[in-house]
Amino acid sequence: DADVTQTPRNRITKTGKRIMLECSQTKGHDRMYWYRQDPGLGLQLIYYSFDVKDINKGEISDGYSVSRQAQAKFSLSLESAIPNQTALYFCATSDSKPPYNEQFFGPGTRLTVL
């Protein structure tokens, strides 16, 4: 079984709809991250959480919100989806032991907003 799972893998929705993307991990890591990937822009950090009670905005948090339900679960919500939120979304985890903090990624969710 995969260590970091994301659901759904693909989603098509309409402008104005509320969408939730879910991420679960079995790696036992404290830290979790949400990124979006757009062609030519690499990965941009949306939100990150260093533990259940610590949630922080990343570089592009506008229009998004998150919930850390448990150590293993981190959800990303689009309250009112708009077409420019069409992208590939990745969840990642890392442990809290310095200094390397390498991140482990889920398979991604492809979101299309019409």
Partner 1 sequence: AQSVTQLGSHVSVSEGALVLLRCNYSSSVPPYLFWYVQYPNQGLQLLLKYTSAATLVKGINGFEAEFKKSETSFHLTKPSAHMSDAAEYFCAVRKGGNQGGKLIFGQGTELSVKP
Q: Where does this chain bind partner 1 (CB under 8 A)?
A: 4, 31, 33, 40-43, 45, 48, 50, 58, 90, 92, 94, 96, 98-108
Residue closer to partner 1 (CB basis): 78 or 92: 92
Residue closer to partner 1 (CB basis): 15 or 55: 55
| Other C-beta atoms lying within 10 Å of the C-beta of residue 20 | 15
* CB-count exposure of residue 73 (10 Å: 0-12, 13-18, 19+): middle
User: How far does Cα 107 stand from its chain's mean position?
Assistant: 11
Residue 89 C-beta: closest distance to partner 1, Å: 11
